[in-house]
A and B are shown apart, each in its own frame.
Chain A
Amino acid sequence: MTDAPVMTAPSATAPVMQATALQRHYEVSGGFMRKPRLLKAVAGLDFQLTPGKTLAVVGESGCGKSTLARMVAMIEEPTEGTLTLDGKPVLPDDWADLRQSVQIVFQDPYGSLNPRQRIGTILMEPLVINTKLTKAEREAKAREMLQLVGLRPEHFDRYPHMFSGGQRQRIAIARALMLDPKVLVLDEPVSALDLSIQSAILNLLTELQDRLQLAYLFISHDLGVVRHVADEVIVMYLGRAVERGSKAALFAAPQHPYTVALLSATPQANPGAEKRRIKLKGELPSPLAVPNGCAFAPRCWKAQDTCRAKTPELGAAPHSAACFFPENAG
């Protein structure tokens, strides 16, 4: 370790949100006359969100990223585990109050805005419900926000269909910021956008974070994007964190074989780069039939009997993998 301990004011590093052993289960019907089965979409996650920092969560579709996002944004209650906001437990009875502090932006900038409302109305709506601001104050704040996210004053009276995908995502971000949240949950916020628009939205998120010291939970399946935006990264597989670490550590020396495979499968925009793709065995198992032991073992080239017998846990170190035989370790 070359990093010297950093001395900063406690307020700057104190997490705003903390998750402990967070789980979310769904009962899914087993079909006609069959017993419902339990699907553990998120099966135990620990993390914290810090002001001004971005925690990125990556993993393939179905690994539980959006379920996690909905729990953090207080749309769904965790089945097990706890969430705290500023040290206080997040309980459904308090959601209405706490929700001001945690806002969410979704992938689809088309579905998430009411087509019948003008942009101004969309932005002011959260203020009507959650604040005692006068109409004039609400409008002033909405216009200010419009400018902050890079839209023009005349956009205030327009309808969502008059905007491009990138502009709609700006509107969704503006709406999420209306109540001065501390945490922004971003569920694939740029996945539906073209490259040239994507970079502008990523820049906007960077600038807003610097300015407002927002804590981001940034969910993405795109490792190129994650590599750019993240401070910390969690890699998920079938509802569990298989690796966690600082961006630099995780990309430089990935430890979990799944992370290694994911990185090797991500195409690089560099025709000269050496290709060494790891071919995974088999297919992603159904989340209803998660393998015993390490869930990745059936597809892992390093798996041994231990892996199929026992479930590896994530260690306490800042960079750690839930694996008995990690790569690049030590």
Chain B
Amino acid sequence: MTLLRIRNLTVEFATASGAFRAVDSVDQDIGNGEILAIVGESGSGKSVSMLAVMGLLPWTAKITADEVSFDGQDLLNMDPRARRRIIGKDLAMIFQEPMSSLNPCFTVGWQIKEALRFHLKMDRKARHARAVELFEQVGIPDPEKRLSAFPHQLSGGMNQRVMIAMAIACKPKLLIADEPTTALDVTIQAQILDLLASLRDETGMGLVLITHDMGVVAETAERVSVQYAGQKVEEQPVADLFNTPHHPYTAALLDALPERATARLLPTIPGVVPGQFDRPAGCLFSPRCKFADAKCKATPPPPLGTDLGHARCFYPLNTADRIAS
């Protein structure tokens, strides 16, 4: 069943120099128990699109969409009080920098218990027992002792676990993890990713994993959505995306991976991501695409069908008739 359904989501920021489109006509479906990765380079709108879903964007953001619904409920037109009952309970999010979302003035135990009090109305004793249980679940050793620690007394990896413990405290149906391991070393990253995957296995929650790391995508995700300059340019099951990318941007990104290198010099993508003032009229990737022609530069390509990974491209790669070559 579809848990989160997004149709035609656009986010524009009012800036001193005019409106800036950070998210552009994005569609997305996430089902129960599914792991979806959203991948893209920095500034491609990954965080903003999910912050829009969570209702966490500043007032300068203008959000429009045909539909944003969670578990059958319309998130867009929901009154703030009803929204607060869902956010942090059924729909939870963790961020790249645990220190920016943990309050330095309170112990981590107090913070997690506060979430349990607010959402689940648990009494003091039940809160404590559940907090200990959560810390154990996310692999924090010596939970009783760690509950009384302040964030600055814990390592980055431990704080990230505290964040995860807080996010899953109320057994969310969907967890959005925004670059949860980007600031961490690979050995800790591996532990955190294993933890998230096993939580999904145990609780059946859906997981949206935002990342820029193709390795993390390959090892963790089931389905992958690729974003470029605010648009979703392709979406495929993980193996298909890596084996037969349809959008030239996806293909170019995969080619640029040092670990896939076949020569001393790596394939590169010329040019830079378009900004506020040089947004192309046609395909957003056309100025950097080696296949682009006049049509691509003039007309924005609409998304193709599921069989072609919803690619926003007039000349998709690895199609049935081109796969042989």
Q: Is the CB of B272 within 8 A of A195?
A: no
Interchain nearest-CB distance for A126 vs B (Å)? 28
* Option from B158, B186, B254, B267 in Cβ contact (under 8 Å) with A269: B254
Name the residue on A nearest B41 (C-beta).
Answer: A194
Smallest CB–CB gap between A85 and chain B, Å? Answer: 28
> Given the complex, which residues of B lie within 8 Å of A279, measured CB to CB?
190-191
- Residue ID in chain A nearest B219 by CB atoms: A267
Apart from A206-B264, A269-B242, A279-B190: 8 A-B pairs, beta carbons within 8 A: A60-B187, A166-B272, A196-B268, A224-B258, A228-B258, A228-B261, A271-B238, A275-B219
Known contacts A271-B218, A283-B155; is-contact A266 B239 (Cβ 8 Å): no
Instruction: Give Cα A275–Cα B218 distance, bound, in whole angstroms.
Output: 11
Evaluate contact between B41 and A61: CB separation under 8 angstroms.
no
Find B265's partner among A61, A206, A224, A262 (CB 8 Å cutoff): A206
6 residue pairs A–B, Cβ–Cβ below 8 Å = A196-B253, A196-B256, A196-B268, A203-B265, A221-B186, A282-B141
**Contact of B242 with A271 in the complex, beta carbons under 8 Å:** yes
Q: A164-B272, A195-B256, A203-B268 are in contact. Are A265 and B186 (CB under 8 A)?
A: yes
Question: Are the CB atoms of B259 and A228 closer together than 8 Å?
Answer: yes
If A194-B42, A195-B212, A199-B266 touch, whether A269 touches B238 (CB-CB below 8 Å) is no
Complex contact A283–B157 (CB within 8 A)? yes
Q: Is B266 a contact partner of A228 (Cβ separation < 8 A)?
A: yes
Q: A195 touching B214 by the CB < 8 A rule?
A: yes
When the two chains form their complex, are residues B187 and A262 in contact, meaning their CB atoms are under 8 A apart?
yes
A134 in contact (CB, < 8 A): no
**Identity of the chain B residue whose Cβ is nearest the Cβ of A61 in the assembled complex:** B185
Chain A nearest CB from B200 CB (Å) reads 16
CB neighbours (8 Å) of B264 from chain A are 206
**Beta-carbon contact of A261 and B187 below 8 Å:** yes
Q: Does B81 contact A (CB under 8 A)?
A: no
B136 within 8 A of A: no
Report the bound CA distance from A229 to B259 in whole Å: 10
Q: Please, which residues of chain A bring their CB within 8 A of the CB of B157?
A: 283
Contact A227 B268 (CB under 8 A): no
Count B-side interface residues using an 8 Å CB cutoff.
42
Asked if A224 and B155 make an inter-chain contact with CB atoms under 8 angstroms apart, the answer reads no
| A310 interfacial contact with B, CB 8 Å | no
Known contacts: A196-B41, A198-B256, A200-B268. The answer to whether A267 contacts B218 by CB under 8 A is yes
**Given known A-B contacts A269-B254, A270-B242, A199 and B185 have beta carbons under 8 A apart:** no
Whether the Cβ atoms of A196 and B242 lie closer than 8 Å is: no
* Cross-chain contact of B215 among A61, A206, A266 (Cβ < 8 A): A266
Distance of B9 from chain A, by nearest CB (Å): 23
Q: Are A202's CB and B185's CB within 8 A?
A: no
**Interface: A268 (CB within 8 A):** yes
Flag whether B281 is at the interface (Cβ < 8 A): no
List chain A residues, Cβ under 8 A from B141: 282
A265 touches B242 (CB 8 A): no
How far, in angstroms, from A164 to B271 measured CA to CA in the complex? 11
Contact with A along B218-260 (1 / 0, CB 8 A): 1110000000000000000011001000000000111011111
Q: Which residue of B lies closest to A270 (CB)?
A: B218
The answer to whether A194 touches B219 (Cβ under 8 A) is no
Nearest-neighbour CB distance to chain A for B180, whole angstroms, equals: 13
The 9 A-B pairs with the shortest beta carbon distances in the complex, nearest first, are A267-B215, A228-B258, A199-B266, A196-B269, A60-B185, A194-B41, A265-B190, A199-B256, A224-B259
Shortest distance from the beta carbon of B285 to any chain A beta carbon, whole Å: 11
B293 at the interface (CB under 8 A from A): no
Q: Decide yes or no: A269 and B256 within 8 Å by CB, A196-B41, A203-B268 being known contacts.
A: no
Q: Which residues of B contact A283 (CB under 8 A)?
A: 155, 157-158
Asked if A272 CB lies within 8 Å of chain B CBs, one says yes
Q: Specify which chain B residues have a CB less than 8 angstroms from the CB of A261 in the assembled complex.
A: 187
Judged by a CB distance under 8 angstroms, whether A280 is at the interface is: yes
| Complex-state Cα separation, A60 to B265, whole angstroms | 27
Q: Is A273 an interface residue (CB 8 A)?
A: yes
- Tell whether B213 is near chain A: CB-to-CB under 8 Å: yes
Docked pose: A115 CA to B194 CA in angstroms: 42
Q: Is A277 an interface residue (CB 8 A)?
A: yes
Note all chain A residues with C-beta closer than 8 A to B266. 199, 202-203, 228
Contacts of A262 in B (CB 8 A): 186-187
B239 A199 Cβ-Cβ under 8 A: no
**B292 at the binding interface (Cβ < 8 Å):** no
Provide the bound-state CA to CA distance between A272 and B157, in Å. 28
Task: Determine which residue in B191, B216, B258 has the highest number of CB atoms from chain A within 10 A of its CB, and name it.
Answer: B258
Supposing A195-B41, A203-B268, A267-B219 touch, asked if A280 and B253 sit within 8 A by C-beta, the answer is no
A228-B261, A271-B242 as given contacts; A60 in contact with B186, CB under 8 Å: yes
B174-217 interface bits toward A, Cβ cutoff 8 Å, 1 = contact, 0 = none = 00000000000111011101100000000000000000111111
Residue A225, interface by CB 8 Å: yes
Chain B residue numbers with a CB within 8 Å of A227 are 258-259
| A201 CA to B193 CA, complexed, in Å | 29
The distance from the CB of A171 to the nearest CB of chain B, in whole angstroms, is 15
Q: What residue in chain B is nearest A200 (Cβ atoms)?
A: B268
Pair A277/B194 contact, Cβ less than 8 Å = yes
Measured between beta carbons, the chain B residues less than 8 angstroms from A195 are 41, 212, 214, 253, 256-257
Chain B residues with CB under 8 Å of A272's CB are 239
B185 contacts across to A, CB distance below 8 A: 60-61, 221, 284
Taken together as a complex, chains A and B put the C-alpha atoms of A190 and B261 apart, in Å, by 16
